[in-house]
A and B are shown apart, each in its own frame.
Chain A
Amino acid sequence: MSNLTATIAETVTTDRSVSLKTQLHRAERMKKLKYGALIVPLALFLLFTFAWPIAALLKRSIDNPEIVTAFPATSALLHSWDGRSLPDNAVFAAFAEEAGKIKGTPVFASAAKRLNMELPGFRSLMMKTARAMPPEAGQSAREALIAADQRWGDIATWQYLGRNASPTTARYLLASVDRKYDDAGHIVKVDDDEAIYVDVLKRTFGMSAVVTICCLLLGFPLAYMMATQPPRIANVLMIFVLLPFWTSVLVRVAAWLVLLQSEGLVNQALRAFGLIEKPLQLVFNSTGVYVAMVHILLPFMILPLYSVMKGISPAYVRAAVSLGCTPFKSFWKVYFPQAVPGVGAGCLLVFIICMGYYITPALLGSPKEQMVSYFVAFYTNQTINWGMAAALSAILFAATLLLYMVYSRLVGQQDAVKAR
């Protein structure tokens, strides 16, 4: 029998100019190209409006253009300097000449500002030095610089300048995890009174986890009701879920402020009933932040849960009960595993939104509740240090990606188990 098929295959092959296998390959490739061509416009659109701008902004976290743009010749010379003793006269001369040329320009100001970031006081040093440049005739650059300020005779100053004379730097990323370069160029931990970002990242994770769990506990019963009740009740519940969802976030936050403040409606009601004497502090602390965030993120939990639960047939639970399973066990063993994809999707959505949440903690929380996003906003708006803002965003992005990979590993295993 196999001989017969082999002969037929051979005849077929010798009949056509190419084998069936190659033809199959070609057909598959053509199909793939056609499908690819259909999504290429979308892919290009996403690339230009989403991926590339984000990559460009994240690249700012390692950009260090200020010194290299302002002092190109000095930077090039500092690269070949060994760093063990004071640089030679060529470096002094180049620096003095360039400082004299660009003093008073925005390029110089941004270089001074950049150097001031790590060593406060460097800005006034640069300004004072530039005012004395270029050196007078007959005076060597080295003498002129050291006469302007004796810090230029200090090797640490030049080491600092040399460390920053490259177009990229790890400084912002290090600072985002509370590390810095010491004088010798090693990576060390930052002083305790300046180290906050690791704590803030932990706080962001913690708050997101708490909000996710609260949303799950509150949203699961509601989604279950919506999925199992007759349409007339389910529709009303759906409206109650969607109406706040369609209201602007700022309006809702302002409403919570009115409700929860010291003379707000909640405190007034409690005092009217005689339950408390002094008003409770419900806002500008973690209580207010959690309440408002759970309120705002509940629809994101309820809607995925609802969509999955709607597809679960009630016959399974009924079958389990009829076979003698207790109500709770039948829920846990039969219903819940089928709802897990919805739980996973809802939790992931709420968690990731929470990680990046800015406006609610900023308006309703104290400085102790601020998450990473607040500091990104601080560096973007207040100090205009976009390098730090980009670095903090990159750290948050990496943490979220890591989390998503862990999640997909866990849920992927779940799916594999189910398939068996």
Chain B
Amino acid sequence: MNRSPSNTRPIAIALAAMSLLAGTARADVTVISFGGTNQKAQAKAFYEPYAKATGSKVIPGEYNGEQAKIKAMVEAKNVTWDVVEVESPELARGCEEGLYEKIDYSKIGPKADFVPAAVTECGIGIFVWSTILAYNSDALKTAPTSWADFWDLKKFPGKRGMRKGAKFTLEFALIADGVKPDEVYKVLGTKAGTERAFKKLDQIKSSIQWWEAGAQPPQLLAAGDVVMTSAYNGRISTAQKEGKTNLKIVWTNNIYDFDLWGIPVGTPKKDEAYKFIAFASKPENQAVFAGEIPYGPTNLKGTALVDKAIVPELPTAPQNMKGAFASDTQFWVEHGEDLEQRFNAWAAK
């Protein structure tokens, strides 16, 4: 067959178009978060502006914190997730086990720009979030003010919601039992302290409704399944914004922690991952994110840019930080597996 120019031209154009498309597809970056209103806020503050600024798309995805998928991907050397939002103990453990890249801060920004606790070996903090006590003011005559009230089934009758797991459950049990916030992890590290926490939980065990995803507590409160629950502060605030003004937050003795960006080892899009993280860590973008869902920025300049009206809802507001304590990452790295197993055994009885 004759290969005249008019014959080969469409093929050449098609090939060129395909390679161009492939080129742009290669610049897309997959970002995994915890889903729900958190992901929606990230889309507004990070994904869409990033796509507008650089032209490469952000492919969002969600998960519930399970590290098994990342471990399987890294071991099989077939990594499809480029940037992952990870909680701090999982990141620390994953870093030691070689699941996450060691962050090169020259590609993101000077370390002094960020809150010191947000700068870690394998991850950079995205935001500060807090686990608080949320309640339905329509279902309770008097408002609860502390975790001891959470345990008071006589004065505040109704079911309780708690996160299914040892983390953010055992600490609140000890607080309700009278342990001071700065001693919680020391007590929990002893055998007697762990037993004390489980004995305290036994007092309300039959009234507890366990939740796993961050989106569940506001749903449970609104549906009337529980009257009080532990919850992530941002999810309750966004529910309030959407009209559920009967959901209220009690900030007493809340536990705050960071979520961090991690890059799984072996991703083919490491440069794009760094570009995205650098973009998301800029103060103006973090301020937009805080405006969408009240999680505190980790960039120190970003805190100044946040709208004054939103500041009282952030975990980092001074009145909310009173009595609050940080989740002890090292403690959970060390004791997390054992306590989670123990919790499972206790819950299954």
Q: Report whether A382 and B348 are in contact in the complex, using a CB–CB cutoff of 8 Å.
A: no
Residues of A whose CB lies within 8 Å of any CB of B are: 105-106, 109-110, 112-113, 116-117, 120-121, 123-124, 193-196, 199-200, 261-263, 279, 284, 366-368, 370, 375, 378, 380-385
- Known contacts A367-B347, A370-B348: A263-B224 contact under CB 8 Å: yes
Smallest distance from the beta carbon of A373 to chain B beta carbons, Å? 13
Contact of A199 among B225, B334, B335, B348 (CB under 8 A): B348
Q: Report whether B224 and A384 are in contact in the complex, using a CB–CB cutoff of 8 Å.
A: no
Contact of B348 among A117, A120, A121, A196 (CB under 8 A): A196
Fill in one digit per residue for B147-171: 1 if any A CB lies within 8 Å of its CB, else 0: 0000000000000000011000000
B349 at the interface (CB under 8 A from A): yes
Smallest distance from the beta carbon of A411 to chain B beta carbons, Å? 34
Fill in one digit per residue for B325-349: 1 if any A CB lies within 8 Å of its CB, else 0: 0000000011111101110111111
Smallest distance from the beta carbon of A200 to chain B beta carbons, Å? 6
B53 at the interface (CB under 8 A from A): no
What are the residues of chain A within 8 A of B67 when measuring CB–CB? 381, 384
Return 30 A-B CB contacts under 8 Å, by A number.
A106-B97, A109-B96, A109-B97, A110-B97, A112-B96, A116-B337, A116-B338, A117-B338, A121-B335, A124-B334, A193-B342, A193-B346, A194-B341, A195-B345, A261-B223, A262-B223, A262-B224, A263-B223, A263-B224, A284-B209, A284-B225, A367-B164, A368-B347, A368-B349, A380-B68, A381-B67, A381-B69, A382-B68, A384-B67, A384-B68
Report how far A349 CA is from B68 CA in the complex, Å. 30
Report how far A199 CA is from B344 CA in the complex, Å. 13
Residues of B whose CB lies within 8 Å of any CB of A are: 66-69, 71, 93, 96-98, 164-165, 198, 209-210, 223-225, 333-338, 340-342, 344-349
Report how far A367 CA is from B224 CA in the complex, Å. 20
**Which partner residue on chain A sits nearest B95 by CB separation?**
A109
What are the residues of chain A within 8 A of B341 when measuring CB–CB? 194, 383
- Known contacts A116-B337, A120-B335, A124-B334: A196-B349 contact under CB 8 Å: yes
**Which partner residue on chain A sits nearest B337 by CB separation?**
A383
Report how far A106 CA is from B334 CA in the complex, Å. 16
**Which partner residue on chain B sits nearest A284 by CB separation?**
B209
What are the residues of chain A within 8 A of B71 when measuring CB–CB? 384
Report how far A261 CA is from B159 CA in the complex, Å. 14
What are the residues of chain B within 8 A of A199 when measuring CB–CB? 348-349
Report how far A60 CA is from B209 CA in the complex, Å. 34
